[in-house]
Amino acid sequence: MKINDYFGDYLKALNEKISNVDNDQLAAAAALIVDTSEKLGNIYILGNGGSASIASHASIDFTKYVGINALTFSDSSLLTCFANDFGYEHAFEKAIEFYAKPGDLLILISSSGESENIINSALKAREIGLNIITFSGFSSNNRLRALGDENFWVESKTYNFVENVHQVWLLSLVDFLKKTEF
């Protein structure tokens, strides 16, 4: 395969995945974010690995560009403390238990939709009374996809495709809210 063919095919396939989103669902997610902000709630954005990077990027942009209080629990001291004391599969769940309150919003990012710590955080968030937006990929019936109020799913089993699409969709919400200055 020629290099140009590879990149052309790759970017075309990625663009198709990015474009395969329901705009009404993006609008509904934006409404959840605005509603949370107007009620002075916090937004927590969580993920592992590459998804943690996306969560960090989005939380900073929501805060800096849009003026919405958004946080992630990726601080190494907090994460390693909770993982050590409660197990990694419960680290985010415990952070939510300590920090979140009813009316807050949780945005969860997991390529597989099967990460135990992400699933546990969704279950704890429901127990407390948080709204949830999920971003997942891989199997269409992954566990995370069933746990949100709005569930975004990428039809791909390739990590970089899924993560890139998640980032574009999530940051499009940032750009939309910045542009509309709700």
* pLDDT tens column, 40-85: 999 999 999 999 999 999 999 999 999 999 999 999 999 999 999 9
Look up the pTM and report it.
0.96
Tally the residues of the chain.
182
Complete domains list, the chain, with CATH: 3-180 (3.40.50.10490)
Token pair listed for 4 = 């140009």
Q: What is the pLDDT of residue 2?
A: 79
CA-based radius of gyration for the chain? 16
Q: Which conformational region is residue 158 in: left (phi greater than 0), alpha (psi within -120 to 50 degrees), or beta?
A: beta
Instruction: Give the Cβ contact number of residue 124 at 10 Å.
Output: 19
How many Å apart are CA 35 and CA 100, to the nearest integer? 16
